[in-house]
Structure 1
Amino acid sequence: MRLDKFLKVSRIIKRRSVAKEIADKDRIQINGKTAKSSSSVAVEDELTIQFGNKTLKVRVDNIKDTTKKDEAKDLYTVLEETYKDSDNT
């Protein structure tokens, strides 16, 4: 499955267009390698996503073409969630 579609279906990112934009700005890695929106995602892959001051690391547990809202959380496991300190004083 394409990276941008997985991010939308899993509801990590709400819109596919936003997922594509983030990926194409080199802010997503699959297994430590920079990924584009068209990159393939497989079960057991580790995704690292940079959102502004937050970095989210997840493991892909399942892949489905569509999900209901309550099923989306079963597609991945959050491995790490870190925040950058925005106070630079």
Structure 2
Amino acid sequence: MRLDKFLKVSRIIKRRTVAKDIADQGRIKVNDKVAKSSTDVLVGDVLTIKFGNKTLTVKVKQLLDTTKKDAAEELYETVSETFEKIY
């Protein structure tokens, strides 16, 4: 599954176009390698996403083409969530 589609289906990022823009800016890594929006995501991959002052690291648990809002968090496991201080 494409990276941008996974981020949308898992509801980590609400819109696929936003996920594509963030990935194409180099703010997403898959297994410690900078990824584009078209990068294939597999079960077991570790995604690191930078949102401004927040860095979210998740591990892919399963891949589904569609999901309901309640089941979206079952697609990934949060490894870490860190915040940088802004001075």
Spell out the pairing of 1:39-78 with structure 2 (5 A cutoff): 39-78=39-78
Q: 5+ unaligned residues in a row in structure 1: which ranges?
A: none
What is residue 31 of structure 1 aligned with on the other side?
31
Question: How many residues get paired?
Answer: 87
SS in 2 for 1:12: coil
Deviation for aligned residue 1:45: 0.1
Query: What is the one-letter code of the residue matched to 1:4?
Result: D
Q: TM-score, normalised by structure 2?
A: 0.99
SS in 2 for 1:6: helix
- Aligned residues: percent identity? 63
Q: 5+ unaligned residues in a row in structure 2: which ranges?
A: none
Q: How far, CA to CA, are the matches of 2:57 and 2:69 in structure 1?
A: 20
RMSD of aligned alpha carbons: 0.3
Q: How far, CA to CA, are the matches of 1:14 and 1:39 in structure 2?
A: 18
- Deviation >4 Å, runs of 4+: none
Query: What is the one-letter code of the residue matched to 1:50?
Result: K
Q: How far, CA to CA, are the matches of 1:44 and 1:19 in structure 2?
A: 20
Q: TM-score, normalised by structure 1?
A: 0.97
Query: What is the one-letter code of the residue matched to 1:23?
Result: A
Deviation for aligned residue 1:77: 0.3
What is residue 16 of structure 1 aligned with on the other side?
16
SS in 2 for 1:78: strand
What is residue 4 of structure 1 aligned with on the other side?
4
